[in-house]
Amino acid sequence: MKFRIKKYKYVILACAFAFTSCDDYLDINDNPNNPTEAPLAGLMVNSTYETSQNTFRMGDITTNYVQYLASPNEASASDVMEPVSYSGTWGSLYNVMTDINDLILKAQDEEANHYEGIGQILMAYNLALTVDAWGDVPYTEGFNFVTVTPSYDDDSQLYSEIISLLDSGMANLSMETSASVGGDDFIYNGDADKWMKFAYMLKARYLNHYSETGNYDPNAVLSALENGFDGNEDDAQMEYFVESINPWADVAIDNANLFLGGWISEQFIESLDGTLYGVEDPRLPLMVGATDDGEYIGTVNGAGRGDAPEQGARSVLEEGDFYTTRQGPVLIATYAEQKFIEAEAAFGIDKARSYQAYLDGIRAHMTKVGVESTEIDAYISNPEVSMGVDSFTIDDIFKEKWVALFLNPEAWVDARRYDYGYEDFDLPENLNPDLGGMFIRRLAYPDSEVSRNGNNVPDVTLLDPVFWDE
């Protein structure tokens, strides 16, 4: 047993050595690569950049539904309105809302009121993008990891939150700030006045979404517009970079490299080439490409390209047009859109104002995409466009607004509010049979949510509308 004692001695010695030094020796697990705090400016950079990206992403999802674009492949899932899992875009929306959440909390801590205000406006915008597509979504239990399975908030309540976020944003922007926003803001370069106008414009947009509900108050829309954009120079947009090009330009370049995409719908071509409305729209060649033969030929939604070759025989997005310039902007909200909102809200109150706003909206968008003023005048003076106040209908507003919202996700909100009532707007071929001959009303919840938060995901079909779409 002499042995035993010896052994223990060593064990005790070794342990003593180990314990005294261990804790310090092992306390090296602070991440040297990622900081635990992010600067406000860094969060602003990412929040504005990703807001623009999300506008593209959501636009990319909805362009087939509103028949700006059509898939070159027959019966492509998004084109025929099948349930598609948009886990990526869902994740991007929540990622940026998480960052904006952190931006707001940090700005509150530091009394950086302008950061907080802009954060609230960006939050309202991204949340509305999410609600308009999916309806009920997580918000109150979101972002701060209070639970791994956040519950879903009612979509109409989220709309109240969106409006109140915009109101808080305006209030914060009108206060003093401990830190001013600058080049870290990719949308307005720190111009608080423009953010204020943008907030009012968005408020008008979202109040106008109530058009089909009992809570619609067109006067509230018009009063918000009073403080909105004053011209195209106020447009909320982000211009792209040499290092990171405009995502629609990317689609066009990919298509040229035979990663097919960005094919123009026959509906869009026929709406602008005179087939449907009897007037040729000078914007067409500035927005989309022609075939090798110089013609504008669209693709029928859901039908695919048939025996058309991959290149040269159909209109597609081509690099260098207004929406597809490498460093060109993605439009988030425009003066043109605001004018059409005004036209819609004023229609039942002051039809003359409505008509004028409609004409101003067309002019604003034409100017935006670079139509010559003589051509603008020619188009606007065409009786098919200037039909006069008496013949002027709500259909005219929706048609021109649809053109002006090219590639923007807001177009799908309109299409649903308008019940896809555009001229000759047919269901896609090979329509998802589950829709029973109806148009899609919402997106399916993404697989990532179903697999990770399945118990909370509402049970809905693609025909169940968002609350404002009754």
Q: How far is the CB of 449 from other proteins (least distance, A)?
A: 6
Name which position in 295, 451, 458, 464 contacts other proteins (CB under 8 A). Answer: 451
Residue 444: closest CA among 177, 89, 20, 40:
89
Q: Is 4 exposed, middle or buried (0-12, 13-18, 19+ CB in 10 A)?
A: exposed
CA distance linking residue 424 with residue 433, whole number of Å: 21
| Binding residues with other proteins: total (CB under 8 A) | 77
User: Mask: binding to other proteins, 350-379, rule CB under 8 A, as x and -?
Assistant: ------------------------------
Closer to other proteins by CB, 361 or 446: give it: 446
User: Mask: binding to other proteins, 208-247, rule CB under 8 A, as x and -?
Assistant: ---------------------------------xxxx---
Closer to other proteins by CB, 104 or 204: give it: 104
User: Mask: binding to other proteins, 44-73, rule CB under 8 A, as x and -?
Assistant: -xx--xx----------------------x
Q: Among residue numbers 1 through 40, which ones bind other proteins (CB under 8 A)?
A: 3, 6-7, 10-11, 14-15, 17-18, 22-23, 25-39
Q: Give yes or no for residue 459 binding other proteins (CB under 8 A).
A: no
Closer to other proteins by CB, 29 or 374: give it: 29
Q: How far is the CB of 434 from other proteins (least distance, A)?
A: 13
Closer to other proteins by CB, 386 or 430: give it: 430
Residue keyed to tokens 């808080």? 168
- Alpha carbon distance, N-terminus to C-terminus of the chain: 89
When computed from its CA atoms, the radius of gyration of the chain, rounded to whole angstroms, is 26
CB atoms under 10 Å from CB of 464, counted, come to 12
Q: How far is CA 117 from CA 91, 156, 171, in A?
A: 24, 23, 7
- Paired residues of 280 in beta bridges: 273
C-alpha 358: how far from its chain's center?
A: 23
Q: Is 43 helix (H, G, I), strand (E, B) or coil?
A: helix
Q: How far is the CB of 371 from other proteins (least distance, A)?
A: 29
Q: How far is the CB of 188 from other proteins (least distance, A)?
A: 14
Q: Among residue numbers 404 through 443, which ones bind other proteins (CB under 8 A)?
A: none
Q: How far is the CB of 447 from other proteins (least distance, A)?
A: 9
Q: Give yes or no for residue 307 binding other proteins (CB under 8 A).
A: yes
The conformation of residue 264, written as its DSSP 8-state character, comes to B
Name which position in 218, 304, 361, 409 contacts other proteins (CB under 8 A). Answer: 304
Q: Is 282 helix (H, G, I), strand (E, B) or coil?
A: coil
Closer to other proteins by CB, 13 or 352: give it: 13
User: Mask: binding to other proteins, 127-166, rule CB under 8 A, as x and -?
Assistant: ----------xx--xxxxxxxxxx----------------
Q: Among residue numbers 87 through 106, which ones bind other proteins (CB under 8 A)?
A: 90-91, 94-96, 98-99, 101-102
- The H-assigned helical ranges of 27-112 are 40-62, 87-110
Q: How far is the CB of 309 from other proteins (least distance, A)?
A: 7
- Paired residues of 238 in beta bridges: 330
Q: Among residue numbers 164 through 203, which ones bind other proteins (CB under 8 A)?
A: 183-184, 186
Are 410 and 205 a contacting pair, CB within 8 Å? yes
The conformation of residue 239, written as its DSSP 8-state character, comes to E
Q: What stretches of 183-290 adopt beta strand conformation (E)?
A: 236-239
Are 81 and 61 a contacting pair, CB within 8 Å? no
